[in-house]
Structure 1
Amino acid sequence: MYRRTISTGVALVPDSLRFVESRNSVYAAATDGRLVAVRLFDGRLVNLGAGYTGPVGVVSLTDGLRLAVAESSGAILVVARDTADRQHARLLAQLPTPVLGLDEHPDSGSLLVLSDASSDGQLLPQLLQCDLKTGNISAVATDLDGARSLVIDTGRRSVLVLSVLADGSRTLTTIGLDNGAVDTVTTEAYDHFTSAPAAGALAVFATRSDPASPGNDTLTYWQGAEAAVEPLPGRVDGLTRWESLLLIASGADLHAVEWEIDDGQVPITVPLGPLAVTGYARLLVDLPAAGLAVGDVTYTVREGVGAGAISLGVESPNPDGTESVMLLAGFLAGEFHVEALSVADGSTLAVRRFRVTTLWPDDVSGPPIAITGDVGATLMNWGGTGGVAGYRFPAPREWRVLVVLLFLKDRDYGDGENATRDEWKQRVIGDGESLRHYYEEVSAYVANTHGMTVKLVGDQVFGPISVNRGWGDVFKKRGGVNNGWQSTPEGKIEMAGAVSTFFADMPGGAAQISLADSFVFVVRSGSDDPIPMGAGNPDLPTKYVWGHANPSVSFWRKVTNPDTSFTFTQFQRPVTFVTDAFPAAAPNKNVTRTLCHEVGHNLGLDDLYDADGDYPAEVNERAVGAVDLMGSSQKLPHFSLANRIALGWIDRNWLRRFDFTANPAGGNVVLQAVETIDAGGPTGGRAAGIEVPISDDWSYLFEYRREQSGQIGDQELDPAVDPGSTELIAGTDLRFRGGDVARPPILALPNDADGDGPVLDSDGQDYTDSDVTNPQRMHDFVLRLDSIRSPDNDSAKIAVEYLEAHRPQLLVHPAPGKGNFKSPDISLIGPLGLTMPVVVKGATNIIKITVHNVGSLDATQTQIHVKWLPWTLTPGDWRDLDDPPVFNVPARGRTTLQVPWPLPASVPVGDDHVEAQHFCVRVDIDRYHDPAHPDADEIVVFDNWAQSNFGTKAVGFGSPSDRLSTAATATNTLARNATYLFDVHQDTPWYRIYLGHAWLQLAPGETRAIPVAYESLAGDPVHGNDFERNLEWILSHEHHLVVVSSLLPEDTECGSPRRVFGCGLTLRTGRRVLIDEAGHDEEVVFARVAALRDGAWEPVPSGQFNLAAWPDDDPARVAVSHGQISNGRGSTLIPRNTLQDLRNGRPTSFTLGRPGDNTYITAVTTPQSLL
């Protein structure tokens, strides 16, 4: 049978092995007193705890938080899984007799303990039940003569006890968990056993000595008699199983045996650990070992597309003749089979099992995931231009919320589920303080015209839905014992999978789940109080969910086709996680207000307060607090002006804009209280607010806020914002650049010179913006509150005065965001010229840079710095290029220059040296100092950088598609460990993207490579027909792919991820093109140009044929010529300089290319010698 071995290096206590599916590990006691876990997915041995005396069993309890441990002396202990040393364990019970074995009762709440005979012989071995709360002991079965070990057969609801009698014979006793029935049968001379996955009669896997091979054991399947036998190397110490995978300890080795799966005719290597749902794995097939070649074997998943599929994407062949097969996991969890079939006769050459889980076992490195088609992820608006113009998250007229009740193994809803459903329906769409009421009020909702309302999908709260996991499997604690818990990245996937399955099994469920714009998961609390862990040990926190959101969680839906087959579709939606109610020990929070805040995240808004010290103190001092719902949910403020504009509820044209760069003049304004502005905008000549642009992506905003009778929001301006006043002018600072993680997008303005600050509530107060308040702004101004509540209570008169500022101001425009990560001021000129702006490794590329001066004074002697790094998902370590000479930029003008970029032929990233194919370029401008005007230094330095991703790539197909591979990097620039989540968005349904990790936990300064691959769906076994039907449209359109990183805050008020960075690719699909057989005569370079069609190469009939050549000792001196292709042959003249180099014997390199069009992809050759 197919067998793999993990060398653990430790001897395990016989019969102590237990497989823990949620951690994908074998837990066991070691003979040296340790508790260990052998992780199948990476083969590592993890020490769980130490210091135990004679441990005979360790069990991971259902709650996912604790371990139960039995020592041979009779001690039954409970210890936290994260701090599991003996010194931290709580004694639950002390038995008077030794303990032989331990397991948890399937119904949880108690342990099953196999005790040995008493020393005086008065008591025979017994099966005991130990209550996990009280430690009380009760007998389940007695007089188990010769008992040696126990196993729980969950499927048959029984406990199995193996006994060795005095005469050496063996018996197997079955004890019913529901009826207590005891039945004993005689077996062969088995030493160790575990249950077998068979229905009906009792069946076990067991081991015994092999008489044909002394010193070795054999594995058997027993169901009344031995039905199959498999030899094993060495003597066995114990076994357990993961479905059909037998996990057998022998000395310092753990053997993994696939029952009833043999090696087959073709060696295939598959992962021992699981795939995540919608994940992927590369299978290595050793075709030469079977005398086969690529194309001789086809692959399929036996159980169909719900279980998985095989991608037909084409990669470069492996040099050793082996084949890399991409296995795609489906949407269903379980155990499945991939089959290798002979193309010649259809015979089965090999079978391998793979297993799919909804709960990825690694907290540090997320699973590989494959995203097929447009899954609806929310794009980040990174580096948006214009403080107001670029900060946009337009909300729809209706936001459809699907609410489900969830519960874990720890506790269900019991008799309270109906009341909970009714309560949450009122929280969402009720007439009182509800989600609907708040959003209709703050958005000035008018049906079909303006604002936003909230609809409850199905007009009901669904569930309860069982999530078959323990609390610690899906949540992590926030801090103190009553501070709640937040979902882990793997926990989100688990809960979303349970919800997807619920709707897949429900009649009409696919239609219901498709309606959701976002989900609300109402999670039943797992306890009312902290869980005591014994004297001297910290209690485990009260088990309830602290409200938080996630912008992009993967779901799936199952649609029944007319032929009764099923189609599974992946999609992503934002999710809010909340508790059903705050337990008695928890802070008394308003859950409805928490819900309103978290749905703000679902709409795209960020938190506006500290994130675990990620922001400096001077930023935290300027938190907006109760001026905005995203700054303080429990006071239920309305959104600030910036967020109202971003959501589309305040028109930017309703603002009075003072752009001092365009018009250096102030003026008088009457502001209308924003709470009173309806769909028609402000009335009576008033403005909704004041905008003062500070720079290209930075604005100050001022608004009039006043509590309104009858509203539910903005009712605590006094004292939450301004003690003693219920009306005020609030000044905020809007700047939103995802590349900058040093501040939230909206801050309160800093205190000004006379101390009036950013909140004005009395006539005559002013906000003076100067070098004192902000040394980085372009213009000085004063905003004065002339008269509040004038000419009526909902109006305020404001005067704005401009103060002259005469300085240079240099900038490069940032990338516009919304999926576009290319600065308009940083562009690429590849070696092949402007018609083919593609990056070529091993050649000198050119970066074209435009620097603007929006100031009123010329900038002389300007210096820029250019740097690059491989495609990155977070800010990282840049590689410097040589600085260009200094240059001048005229006032209100611009200067363009070109910088050579010699790119190495190989750019490996990460420990596994994945080859990078896409890159980022960044430009920084030194802060300008003019010696002729020492008092006129440039002020705004935040505009002095921008970057571009260069990632336009062609994906060729001849059915099936090419699969192209690259890598992105992620670097943690924070001073703490941090977890980064990675989401993928595509704007068409015709591509599949492979991402090597769904998340990564990184140490300070750590950089990791993330493999990325992509392919079109041409020839795909599931989606290929749809691709072919839409081929004309696909060939004529670009496809945009964006990978966005988000940072998980730690120990903050809200644990919703904060989007920080991203990178994008533009993909084009066309016929796969090959340029080869290159040669040259005295004046012309020529080559074959062919395209793949139906598995055969055919001549490309026409097109441009480009040559770039350069001397090896001066690679920046690139010469380019343009020729033509005719009937599959391309030719072009050798440039004059290159001809002279060749005649002089100067070593010269070249590359050839054909620009892409609506039929063929772009093709570029690897640089090679022209001699």
Structure 2
Amino acid sequence: MSILKKFLNYLVTLILSFWQWLLKHLGILSAPKVVLVFDAGDYFVGSYTKVKLKITGSPVLTLDDLYFTIPDGPKAGTISLCQDKEFDPANPDIMLCIGYEPGDYRLQCYNKSTSALMSEEKFSVTTIWTDNKVGASRSFTGIVTGYSAGSAWGGGPAAPQNLNVIPQSGTKRIAVLLVDTSSERYSTTIADVQAIKDKWMNSLINGVTEGGITRSVKQFYREVSYNNIDITADVFGPVQLPADFDTYFNADGTTKGAFNQAAITAGDGLINYNNYEYLLCVSQPVHTTDAGGNIVRAKAAWPYSSIGKWGPYSTSEGDKSFGIMSMPHDWEEADGRKRYQTISHEFGHNLGLLDQYTPSVPGRNLDDWELMDFERNWPYFSVAHRMMLGWLPATNIVQYNFSSMATPVDQSTTLQPIEAAPAAGQASAIEVRIADGWNYYFEYRKGQAAELGDKQLPTDSVVFGTDVVSAPWVPPISRPVILLLNNDADGDGSVLTNGKDYKETDHTDPTFPTDFKVGVSGINGSNASVRVQYGVNSKPDPSIRPWPRPDHQYQSPDIEVRNDRNASNPEWFNVPWVGHDNTVAAQVRNNGSLDAPGVVVHFAVKDYNVGGAPESPLGTVVKDVPAGGAPIEFTTSWNPPAEGHFCIIVRIELYQRPDNPAIVEMTELNNLAQSNYDRFISASASPAERMITYVTVGNPYPVATQVYLIPDQTNPLYRSYAEFMWLWLEPAETRKIKLMFEYDHTNLFKGPLSLGVYESINVIASNNDHKINAEEIQRKYQDVPNKVNLACMIENPHDNPRHSKYVLGGAEVEVVTGKATQFVRFGNDGDTLYGQVLVKATKAPARGKVILELFFADVVKKYVTVKLDDNGQFFFRLDKDVKQILGYFLPDKGYGDCYSDLLKL
């Protein structure tokens, strides 16, 4: 710059400064002012709120001229400067992410250039939540592991099904927290509290001696898991919740949505949550005096547990998920069931198992044969649950697949007691494949003298038969996962002693009658002989696998959405391209032994959802599916609207042979699949981009009930937001929940950060070890996608108390980050189309491809993919009939995508 230009710039600045001084002095122009505007009231621990900035005065300040701080640090909250599509530069905002410790705090705004305090507003953090219809919001960061959907049907086509669906092994660490409410506190007498702690530790770990036998949950799970898992525990408290009993518990004693976080927060000063995966909340009941002057128990918690791990919950160690249990401290004295029995049942929920007593199926519920039905006599898990938990190897299971047999079977197997540890060369169970996802199991149940469980079976030393339907299920469901086999014609039923048999005759088979018979002999306390007989099956069974596929929890491995974007870049595999042509393909198999001509497949779409959303049809396709299991592809076309995110459903109509309607498929239980998935690029810029989507949740029950959203994520450089964590929904009601995702590596320096089970860091300190740690974490995760799983649990409203919960559904979001890009040129010179894509911030060339959408006069269009050169440019020779062109930049890793303007020729 010349000396003259410098002098002129200085002169202009001097004149402007003088006029600003003069106008202020005359009271015509006011000084810059910033007002922080956000909702009055208390904020729930771990929630979030947008803070609007009202900026007035001169010189006019922008967001870049300001910085924000919370003097009390991350316990009070943190600030995100990321911006989303709702951001208005004329009315800017920041995000206040509420911290983990209740209290009164201040949010401050300073002028960067002068360090002057521009504004200060107070806010309060609490664990009291009084809205029973709508839950609190949640923001979270770190690596948070939540509910796992398991694997579709377990095992595989050649392996036993239901294997390793929710595998559990290793040491399970439980924190036991005594917690009370303002309605009634725990005793202040140390001896009284210690007696309560001792009761719970004895039931869990140390053992309770009764009749010369020492019993504990720890020993029970060692035995039932064949030493695959162990349990440790520590007791903490009592801690006090600030509000009354009714604030945290429903009238039936089940917990309200805010209770878990409130209890976790209350125990945060005592418990290092890095050391535990599970939390058992032991609460103080509320007593009153009756008309006769007697003290009576008026209110108490009812045993209630999370299915798997729920969360994330805000702690001083970062955001974490836990398996949660809630029980009153006097459960045994008040109800009569032993603590160790009920804890064993509730902990089964934490491992991922559902109740088996509901829905009720007369004569077929498991009752005292299964811990997840009724724990009063402390039975072990039945064989299907042992398989799902990964405790029984495939080598110890004898398989029969009657859905595709070519020759009759007449074979005997010697079963050892299921209570005995699986041994090489020994059979522990028999699986009879009725159809994919539907199996019968036979096990020999014999209580062992040296073990705790199965000592009070309804009948000891018997072969026991169950009917098992594999996950996933769509609530409301008509049956539990595991049922007793139907009672057969001669009344032998599902519990077989020597000389008894279970028999079915299939009169609908084309070669009927086809007999299935399981006979039992040789029961001697050490083993049992089981003879399996079956004729040749000749039925069709068109089927499709439900979610999950191995790498995506809420996608069917048999559904694929294809388009030009994922054809050009496999990172977008199976992701719909909104506003463009897509093909939906479904792989349908017939694992039966009879051909299935004329199979009808319906395609549908619904809002991106976690269950209960209405569907819209996409099309119906009819094809022949030969027997033998080789897949036949069914396809339909779909052009999703430019705004929205979706779930694809494929449903096989109940199959009957067109030439003989009496021939019906094996089962409808394997006729439904869906894929629910979305992918975003959170463009990195200054500030970074926050992405917004919505997920739909609905109530399929005819009465009102409560649903819980359980999100998690895999990358600590991201922050995720959920508008509500629980909702009360009326019959058939649906709600949309806003979800937001942002890439922000400064999360590493804002507060405690969980890196998974038993590990968290806090790098806000200035020492070099923390700085190195943060740099290593950023290098490790900056190019790794963030997978956010969104499971939804729904309470069975017909269960009283509402102890039963089911997986309503789930969705998955994959978020990657990349430098924000833009088309800086997109035009034509005659029949030559040209364009250039640059990084917004640096103007450096972008790396990737451009997909050109070419529109012709007769409404025909086609897609062409061209690669950018080293300067971020491309050139393409146009057909003379092209009338309009839209460019889409499909980025390489590390870049964000973008669209061009529509070019009209």
Output the TM-score relative to the length of structure 2.
Answer: 0.85
Q: Secondary structure at the match of 1:428?
A: helix
Change (3 A) 1:552 1:1056: farther
1:1153 paired residue number: 889
Deviation at 1:278, TM superposition (A): 1.2
Aligned residues: 828
Q: Secondary structure at the match of 1:875?
A: coil
Change (3 A) 1:344 1:727: same
Separation of aligned partners in 2, 1:1111 and 1:591: 74
Is the CA contact 2:285–2:300 (under 8 Å) kept in the aligned structure 1? yes
Matched, 1:462 2:236: yes
Q: Secondary structure at the match of 1:295?
A: helix
2:641 paired residue number: 904
The AA in structure 2 aligned to 1:666 is: V
Separation of aligned partners in 2, 1:591 and 1:1030: 43
Separation of aligned partners in 2, 1:1152 and 1:354: 44
2:310 to 542, 552, 563: 552
Is the CA contact 1:500–1:555 (under 8 Å) kept in the aligned structure 2? no
Separation of aligned partners in 2, 1:541 and 1:843: 63
Matched, 1:419 2:195: yes
Alignment of 1:200-219 (within 5 A): none
Deviations 1:227-286 (A, max 9, x none): xxxxxxxxxxxxxxxxxxxxxxxxxxxxxxxxxxxx992243201232211111112223
Is the CA contact 1:529–1:543 (under 8 Å) kept in the aligned structure 2? no
Is the CA contact 2:444–2:461 (under 8 Å) kept in the aligned structure 1? no
Deviation at 1:846, TM superposition (A): 2.3
Q: Secondary structure at the match of 2:745?
A: coil
Which structure exhibits the higher relative contact order, with contacts defined as CA atoms closer than 8 Å and separated by 6 or more residues?
Answer: 2
Matched, 1:283 2:51: yes
Change (3 A) 1:1054 1:795: farther
Separation of aligned partners in 2, 1:620 and 1:876: 31
Alignment of 1:150-169 (within 5 A): none
Alignment of 1:497-536 (within 5 A): 497-503=265-271, 510=272, 513-527=273-287
Q: Which runs of 5+ in 1 are unaligned?
A: 1-262, 446-450, 479-484, 504-509, 534-538, 559-567, 907-915, 1143-1147
Is the CA contact 1:644–1:650 (under 8 Å) kept in the aligned structure 2? yes
1:648 to 390, 395, 399: 390
Q: Secondary structure at the match of 2:664?
A: coil
Change (3 A) 1:863 1:276: same
Change (3 A) 1:926 1:826: same
Deviation at 1:1076, TM superposition (A): 4.9
1:85 paired residue number: none
Is the CA contact 1:996–1:1010 (under 8 Å) kept in the aligned structure 2? yes
Q: Secondary structure at the match of 1:693?
A: strand
1:813 paired residue number: 545
Is the CA contact 1:668–1:797 (under 8 Å) kept in the aligned structure 2? no
1:677 to 417, 420, 428: 420
Is the CA contact 1:822–1:949 (under 8 Å) kept in the aligned structure 2? yes
Matched, 1:922 2:620: no
1:629 to 365, 371, 393: 371
2:433 paired residue number: 693
Separation of aligned partners in 2, 1:661 and 1:281: 55
Change (3 A) 1:426 1:383: same
Separation of aligned partners in 2, 1:1128 and 1:531: 88
Change (3 A) 1:750 1:1054: farther
Larger Rg: 1
Separation of aligned partners in 1, 2:858 and 2:289: 74
Deviation at 1:288, TM superposition (A): 6.6
Is the CA contact 1:1120–1:1135 (under 8 Å) kept in the aligned structure 2? no
The AA in structure 2 aligned to 1:1160 is: Y
Alignment of 1:14-29 (within 5 A): none
Deviations 1:572-630 (A, max 9, x none): 1112111211487x4322222111111111112111121xxxx4x6x465322222101
Deviation at 1:737, TM superposition (A): 0.7
Matched, 1:839 2:582: no
1:1043 paired residue number: 790
Separation of aligned partners in 2, 1:902 and 1:871: 15
1:730 to 434, 444, 465: 465
1:828 paired residue number: 561
1:271 paired residue number: 39
Is the CA contact 2:784–2:816 (under 8 Å) kept in the aligned structure 1? yes
Deviation at 1:1149, TM superposition (A): 5.8
Change (3 A) 1:555 1:499: farther
Alignment of 1:114-129 (within 5 A): none
Separation of aligned partners in 2, 1:380 and 1:326: 32
Change (3 A) 1:637 1:780: farther
Which deviates further from its counterpart, 697-706 or 955-964?
A: 955-964
Separation of aligned partners in 1, 2:705 and 2:653: 31
Separation of aligned partners in 2, 1:442 and 1:1170: 71
Q: Which runs of 5+ in 2 are unaligned?
A: 1-30, 208-213, 752-762, 764-770
Change (3 A) 1:1065 1:621: farther
Is the CA contact 1:867–1:878 (under 8 Å) kept in the aligned structure 2? yes
Deviations 1:30-89 (A, max 9, x none): xxxxxxxxxxxxxxxxxxxxxxxxxxxxxxxxxxxxxxxxxxxxxxxxxxxxxxxxxxxx
Deviation at 1:956, TM superposition (A): 2.4
The AA in structure 1 aligned to 2:721 is: Y
Deviation at 1:762, TM superposition (A): 4.0
Alignment of 1:275-314 (within 5 A): 275-287=43-55, 291-314=60-83
Deviation at 1:402, TM superposition (A): 1.8
The AA in structure 2 aligned to 1:576 is: M
Q: Secondary structure at the match of 1:951?
A: strand
Separation of aligned partners in 2, 1:527 and 1:1060: 37
Matched, 1:1108 2:853: yes
Is the CA contact 1:785–1:799 (under 8 Å) kept in the aligned structure 2? yes
Is the CA contact 2:405–2:537 (under 8 Å) kept in the aligned structure 1? no
Is the CA contact 2:678–2:814 (under 8 Å) kept in the aligned structure 1? yes
The AA in structure 2 aligned to 1:428 is: L
Q: Secondary structure at the match of 2:33?
A: coil
The AA in structure 1 aligned to 2:702 is: A
Deviation at 1:891, TM superposition (A): 2.6
Q: Secondary structure at the match of 2:203?
A: helix
Which deviates further from its counterpart, 981-990 or 752-761?
A: 752-761
Deviation at 1:1066, TM superposition (A): 2.1
Alignment of 1:234-245 (within 5 A): none
Is the CA contact 1:383–1:739 (under 8 Å) kept in the aligned structure 2? no
Percent identity (aligned): 23
The AA in structure 1 aligned to 2:516 is: V
| Structure 1 vs Structure 2 CA RMSD | 3.1
Deviation at 1:1007, TM superposition (A): 0.6
Change (3 A) 1:753 1:1170: farther
Output the TM-score relative to the length of structure 1.
Answer: 0.66
Change (3 A) 1:1167 1:1079: closer
Is the CA contact 2:254–2:802 (under 8 Å) kept in the aligned structure 1? no
Deviations 1:205-236 (A, max 9, x none): xxxxxxxxxxxxxxxxxxxxxxxxxxxxxxxx
Change (3 A) 1:514 1:317: closer
The AA in structure 2 aligned to 1:856 is: S
Separation of aligned partners in 2, 1:408 and 1:531: 25
2:876 paired residue number: 1133
Is the CA contact 1:554–1:570 (under 8 Å) kept in the aligned structure 2? yes
Matched, 1:965 2:699: no
Q: Secondary structure at the match of 2:866?
A: strand
The AA in structure 2 aligned to 1:696 is: D
The AA in structure 1 aligned to 2:243 is: R
Change (3 A) 1:495 1:676: closer
Q: Secondary structure at the match of 1:600?
A: helix
Matched, 1:939 2:666: yes
Separation of aligned partners in 2, 1:264 and 1:699: 73
Matched, 1:639 2:401: no
Matched, 1:594 2:342: yes
Alignment of 1:123-522 (within 5 A): 265-287=33-55, 291-316=60-85, 318-319=87-88, 321-381=90-150, 383-386=152-155, 388-389=161-162, 392-409=165-182, 410-415=184-189, 416-431=192-207, 432-445=214-227, 451-457=228-234, 461-478=235-252, 485-503=253-271, 510=272, 513-522=273-282
